[in-house]
Structure 1
């Protein structure tokens, strides 16, 4: 990374850590996938029950593969051949997990997480259920404020995921949210996670890379 960008990132890092701490969440930076895996290996043990939210970022970082080879009880939503009923059972089982690992659509400099979901299982587990939540995100998810976060979701996250999932929604053609009423719409629940009542239940890990949408 170019030196001036490193300096800028350091400034943002300090501000973000303070903002998330003020909202009772912890935040840390890791440089790459190797550092992320080193940290995760230190906690993925003792047979704890672990679930994940649907996430391009987790797959890019090899988190799902790591879980499958760790000393944990992995509630694997990505197992091949799952029926829809079994998958939804695993979504519900995630509420009783010791640890829920997911990403976020956007995060802001004032220490908030912004997400939009179709089914809602991911945001529901982030809010309540699992004892601990780890949120992994790339630098591209950092937005200045709520307006920036919503713009990122509507002009990047939502249409990119609709394209990935082969949805027949207007945004796959326009590249931006059209506030549609399509039966295949994936933007049903908009959730802002701000100040948390349970201190440090949520940990945010930012990888110094561009990941997911």
Structure 2
């Protein structure tokens, strides 16, 4: 990382929403959608209060650089780490950082090194879901204190719901919504559309789908510090 940079660059810039909306005609109608924009300070404060009332640990940061350093500080040396696909993590340079030399055991790299897809899937189910720290984002965070996300295969929701010892959620303020009804709408009408555009570009498939949909209403009563949320005042991901 250059000394001039406060965080690593995003090496997946073609998969940001701003890039995809220009390259994918199906996504173009959502170009100026309100869900692409950060919300007010008051709504950030409301989401933080709601999440904390639900028992989650939350810290609010101003920008991508602060988010990068906040995540880095949360993971102790020697920990095993895996990540779901997350444009938000890419945008703060954390995926770029994980691909280099770190003080952690990057399990994601071990999984991707397996070329047999059946064996790779088994690694995702086993070591990928049971790491010390699982890093991800959400499709929505409600002002009432819930975390909401979805995936196609189940590998993401499984690791977040129970598998990993600790979960770190990085989320931009553009993902703050009023309640669970709006979280469902944001996930299925906006996030899936954007992720489908990414999937078309990355994998050459028709799109993606929210086959597994998860609402985490409160922190685990037996391990309340397990899920930590880094809430960024900027817009990140989709």
Alignment TM class, shorter chain as reference: 0.7 to 0.9
1:188 corresponds to: 211
* C-alpha RMSD over aligned residues: 2.2
Alpha-carbon distance in 2 for matches of 1:111, 1:22 = 7
2:232 equivalent to 1:207: yes
- Deviation string for 1:156-194 (max 9, x for gaps)? 10111112111325xxxxxxxxxxxxxxx5221111111
Preserved contact between residue 44 and residue 67 of structure 1 (Cα < 8 Å): no
2:161 equivalent to 1:127: yes
Preserved contact between residue 140 and residue 177 of structure 2 (Cα < 8 Å): yes
- Please give the secondary structure, in 2, of the residue aligned with 1:13: helix
Provide the aligned length of Structure 1 versus Structure 2: 193
- Deviation string for 1:48-101 (max 9, x for gaps)? 101101111111111112223320001125847744234323322122211000
The two structures have a TM-score, normalised by structure 1, of: 0.82
1:168 corresponds to: 206
Preserved contact between residue 44 and residue 71 of structure 1 (Cα < 8 Å): no
Displaced runs of 4+ in structure 1, greater than 6 A? none
- Deviation string for 1:27-53 (max 9, x for gaps)? 111111211222223233421101101
Alpha-carbon distance in 2 for matches of 1:13, 1:159 = 25
The answer for unaligned runs of 5 or more in structure 2 is 1-37
Range that drifts further, 53-62 or 32-41:
32-41
The answer for unaligned runs of 5 or more in structure 1 is 1-5, 170-184
